[in-house]
Structure 1
Amino acid sequence: MSGKKATTHWNSLDRLRAFGDVIVVEERFVKDGNIWSSAGVSAGMDMMLAFIADFAGEETAGIVQFATEYYPSTKSYGGFDKNPKAPAYLKQRV
């Protein structure tokens, strides 16, 4: 992963940064060449749909999304945006 962009769950970003040679990005998922990483379970679902679209096309990704009934809500609950560890992409949702 040396020199590659990567992300992980917000609570583990500091551990990923500790590797030193990884370019840590605070995104739900990121693709750098053939390396894909995500920030958690639901982010992994978003990443997998993007992966399917990348390799098999948007229509195939749409079929998978429809079959799994995965339609991410824009509704956010609680005050997660006030958590000092919350990455930028979470704070933007508020």
Structure 2
Amino acid sequence: MSTAPSSPPTRFAVALFPGFQALDVFGPLDILNTLSTQVPLSLTILSTSLAPVSTATPAAGGPSTAQSVVPTRTYADANVDVDVEVLLVPGGAGTRDPANVAQVEDYVRRAYPKLRYLLTVCTGSALVARTGVLDGRRATSNKRAWEWATAQGPRVNWVPRARWVTDGNVWTSSGISAGIDMMYAFVADQFGEDVAQTLADDAEYVRNTDPDDDPFAAGEGKNGVAK
């Protein structure tokens, strides 16, 4: 049985924007949903307004199906800063438009000094890189969007072969499904390995527990094209 911190975080939030990647959000949050049956947790869904936020991008040419999530608070809510210990920033096509995520970036800059942990999935790290929070830190991102993502943070120490990377209180994961492995690893770090493995077993999920085991990194067969 692994040893977890005496006071692991219990107040989580996710930063939404139009065009977020569904699994970037729903994968990690499903783990937290299950964890909350054992540990009381709170979850805040953040957006620019309380209107439903769609996985579809505002621009034409996106997917023909999409889902929407109803936020619970806005980035402008000054009181939200003290109510969030862990912030999850997803990626998705919406990160490509700086105007689309400008309020998210402003919130990350404002909130980060008060956070206990910052977690990103996929190109969420590119979004956060534009804020300067990742400058001088090790981080990773989606290998399929590698050139674009890494260009968003020239002062970031990008790790090209990693399923996820931990640098201090910042956790960044590779593309989409990697966020699930990262969240299980985060739960193991904070609540104990036995808790994380039980949650994975209940979900019938086979974890990747090695952050350096990255089958989608450059050079790892046809799936490893970093572009």
TM-score, normalised on structure 2? 0.33
Identify the match of residue 23 of structure 1 among 142, 154, 157: 157
Query: What is the alpha-carbon distance in structure 1 between the residues aligned to residue 169 and residue 188 of structure 2?
Result: 14
Aligned structure 1 segments of 4 or more residues deviating by more than 4 angstroms? none
After superposition, residues 6-85 of structure 1 pair within 5 angstroms as 6-18=139-151, 19-26=153-160, 27-72=162-207, 81-82=221-222, 85=225
**2:145–2:226: 8 Å Cα contact kept in structure 1?**
no
Using the aligned pairs only, state the percent identity: 39
Structure 1: unaligned runs, 5 residues or longer: 88-94
Q: 1:24 and 1:86, CA in 2 relative to 1: closer, same or farther beyond 3 A?
A: same
Query: What is the alpha-carbon distance in structure 1 between the residues aligned to residue 224 and residue 189 of structure 2?
Result: 34
Q: Deviations over 1:36-55 (max 9, x none)?
A: 11112221111111100100
Matched to 2:190, the amino acid is: F
Q: CA RMSD in A?
A: 2.4
Bigger Rg, structure 1 or 2: 2
Q: 1:45 and 1:56, CA in 2 relative to 1: closer, same or farther beyond 3 A?
A: same
Aligned residues: 82
SS in 2 for 1:41: coil
**1:6–1:37: 8 Å Cα contact kept in structure 2?**
yes
TM-score, normalised on structure 1? 0.74
**1:5–1:24: 8 Å Cα contact kept in structure 2?**
yes
**1:16–1:22: 8 Å Cα contact kept in structure 2?**
no
Determine the structure 1 residue equivalent to 2:83.
Answer: none
Q: Which has the higher helix share?
A: 1
Structure 2: unaligned runs, 5 residues or longer: 1-133, 209-214
Matched to 1:50, the amino acid is: A
